[in-house]
């Protein structure tokens, strides 16, 4: 009995260690805004700082090597007006891009606006990152199958579900396709 408990504890510890070692790399995010606009220039650098302060989750990049892009813009007509800001976020996979989320926030200060945008971006990532990735992978596979008479390589995350590394349209349809 004691040996079984020890074996179970050891297996659980091994699973936790293995899971910790397979932590996904940070999301490479590029944030684009109008640097000539005073309102956007007041808020977006603060947003970038908040994102960069989470290195386990995000890496801010300035080139095209990204997994996610954010377009942010703000407007403030007079000094007494609040900041009206919005963003749209897109997830990139290979050559495809898919809408991940977006929001509009109205806050009194640039710091409050940046914080609200940051929270909304985090929410989009948490709620939609994996499902958007799956949808994109299925779309890429189905596009390949529609354009060829031969087989297509099955994206790695879908191999277990389709039980195949390569598949043609007929085989895919017999399996019932995949649901996003």
Report how many domains make up the chain.
Answer: 1
Residue 18 lies in a domain: no
d(CA 176, CA 37): 51
pLDDT tens track, the chain, 180 positions: 434 433 333 344 334 334 445 688 999 999 999 999 999 999 999 999 999 999 999 999 998 889 999 999 999 999 999 999 999 999 998 778 999 999 999 999 999 999 999 999 999 999 999 899 899 999 999 999 999 888 999 999 999 999 999 999 999 999 899 988
Residue 180 lies in a domain: no
Residue 8 lies in a domain: no
Can you give the CATH number for the domain in which 158 is found? 3.40.50
What is the residue range of 135's domain? 23-174
CB 72, CB 31: distance < 8 Å: yes
């Amino acid at each position: 009995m004691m040996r079984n408990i020890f074996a179970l504890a050891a297996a659980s510890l091994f699973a936790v260690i293995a899971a910790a070692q397979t932590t996904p790399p940070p999301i490479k995010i590029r944030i684009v805004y109008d640097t000539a606009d005073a309102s956007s220039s007041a808020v977006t650098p603060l947003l970038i700082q908040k994102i960069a302060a989470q290195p386990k989750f995000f890496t801010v990049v300035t080139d095209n090597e990204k997994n996610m892009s954010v377009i942010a813009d703000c407007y403030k007509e007079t000094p007494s007006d609040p900041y009206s800001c919005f963003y749209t976020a897109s997830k990139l996979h290979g050559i495809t891009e898919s809408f991940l989320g977006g929001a509009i926030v109205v806050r009194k200060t640039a710091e409050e606006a940046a914080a609200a945008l940051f929270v909304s971006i985090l929410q989009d990532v948490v709620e939609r990152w994996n499902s958007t990735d799956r949808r994109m992978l299925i779309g890429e596979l189905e596009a390949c199958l529609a354009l060829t008479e031969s087989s297509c390589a099955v994206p790695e995350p879908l191999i277990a579900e389709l039980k195949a590394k390569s598949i043609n349209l007929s085989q895919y349809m017999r399996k019932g396709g995949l649901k996003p």
